[in-house]
Structure 1
């Protein structure tokens, strides 16, 4: 059902500072700002990231997945509930940049927004920037229930597994659009951008240091599952970003799903086990609200105009 990973919406303490970080380090550009919310992109899609100013409720608001059209969205409710999901209101419209959307909470409490009809904008000028929003990795307490929801509810397909600790899932050619890690509590592990090559990861690490005087958390190196280069660091509000290049393409590369050993070399082909700072990082789930969030209103709309 899901055709591609869309974006993530994050609560941030200081909107200007959070936007500045994404612009300086990732190369994002702001396409729209309204009601304390910034919509940012790195390509011709209206947004690949939403930042919501909220000084009280730290966390992510939703993980967005694109579906083909309004008919696919209309038919999603029964499938999502049958796979263990809980609907958070009905289909709504009026949100900047998209046609309509539906929110659902997974068995482990993660909040997904299915949407269709992403608007396009003029692409940013050429520059040293990310190419697209690539994937999301979540921490879960019940792997089996969450995997069933991804497979039967969202329509993701299995890519790889690392023992009982982690699994990777795809909805298009990218090796993974979603990844799961077993953990004591449900949280966001990280969100990821695609970069053109290994050199661009090094230049990004330079910008993290120059813009904020901070060192990266882990990498650059290469993962086993997905065969991609990686680099991890925190954004301005403590959520972890992964920068990736050369992510495996399922059909084009003839990638064969497999079960990997839980040896540290599985997730770091070139170096040592992940550092404690990586393992302990988690960004919470913001308190979910049904239907269209109060901040998600396109200019010129009214409450009466929203179904």
Structure 2
């Protein structure tokens, strides 16, 4: 049994050495709005009800701060903590009120590659904004580079209860927590890092208008526009001032649980881009998506790294303290 029923991907925290420039990009160019800000952090919202969908944190190098998933109630957070303890998975933060922008009640723990996962309920809501503008509603998925895709998929399915929607051969796995085709995807890579963060546009018209707005500001796509096979979503990828990849997307496939069939897609250009408008990703795109190695919380907590070091994927639910 998984530790919780995830409602949705709520927000992503990115660590960047370019806090001022990145804040300006995401607020003045990308279309998010600053809701809170201090010397070392900026919290930005989309047009949806989430208090924030992106947190930018000042750091010496690029990295992933945390991935936050929404659950429905504080009682579910407490139950998740109980089940983590039964599995022997250490918590970074015990269940309780979160002392952070947006508030909420949650817990934090690490996955087997040092990524910080947050489960949270009762985060402050904000009034939805006008969706006529070509700007994002919020974060819809995060793609993560992994050194062991089988191990990563095992943890996120066994522990977090996510379901595999599709594979792209044995190179990528697409995982869902609700009806969206994927909220998390894993890409087999040479090191652990963020591949890209995707932001949902309300429609294909908003998607194309958003690309047009960026172009008018001198920002051109690294790759796209196009439409992927797995997920059926539109895509257009850009680089932010830190060199991290951000994506405009729309029209992601919706999964009906008792009707969906998981497929293994071939990794050929006509399936990675159904429209044929974007072509295959260039070396520059691949370099940006590869990012730099990020050991996450393991840099400060080698004891956690040791806890996961020798545990095979099939035994992840029995991770020792």
Corresponding position of 1:278: 285
Note the 1:114-153 alignment, pairs <5 A: 114-126=119-131, 127-153=133-159
Count of residues in Structure 1 that have an aligned counterpart in Structure 2: 288
Note the 1:214-293 alignment, pairs <5 A: 214-251=219-256, 255-271=260-276, 272-281=279-288, 282-284=290-292, 285=294, 287-288=296-297
Tell me the distance in 2 between the aligned counterparts of 1:98 and 1:74: 16
Corresponding position of 1:34: 38
Structure 1 residues 252 and 160: alpha-carbon distance in aligned structure 2, compared to 1, 3 A threshold: closer
Corresponding position of 1:20: 24
Structure 1 residues 80 and 210: alpha-carbon distance in aligned structure 2, compared to 1, 3 A threshold: farther
Q: Classify the secondary structure of the residue corresponding to 2:7.
A: strand
Corresponding position of 1:296: none
Q: Classify the secondary structure of the residue corresponding to 2:76.
A: helix
Structure 1 residues 82 and 230: alpha-carbon distance in aligned structure 2, compared to 1, 3 A threshold: farther
Structure 1 residue 207: Cα displacement:
3.4
Q: TM-score, normalised by structure 2?
A: 0.82
Q: Deviations over 1:117-167 (max 9, x none)?
A: 121112234422112210111011111111111111111111001111011
Unaligned runs of at least 5 residues, structure 1: 291-307
1:201 aligns with 2:207: yes
Structure 1 residues 153 and 276: alpha-carbon distance in aligned structure 2, compared to 1, 3 A threshold: same
Structure 1 residue 77: Cα displacement:
3.6
Instruction: Give yes or no for contact 1:226–1:248 (8 Å, CA) kept in 2.
Output: yes
Structure 1 residues 86 and 232: alpha-carbon distance in aligned structure 2, compared to 1, 3 A threshold: farther
Match of 1:8 among 8, 12, 17: 12
Corresponding position of 2:311: none
Corresponding position of 1:301: none
Corresponding position of 1:65: 69
Structure 1 residue 36: Cα displacement:
2.7
Structure 1 residue 265: Cα displacement:
2.4
Structure 1 residues 219 and 83: alpha-carbon distance in aligned structure 2, compared to 1, 3 A threshold: farther
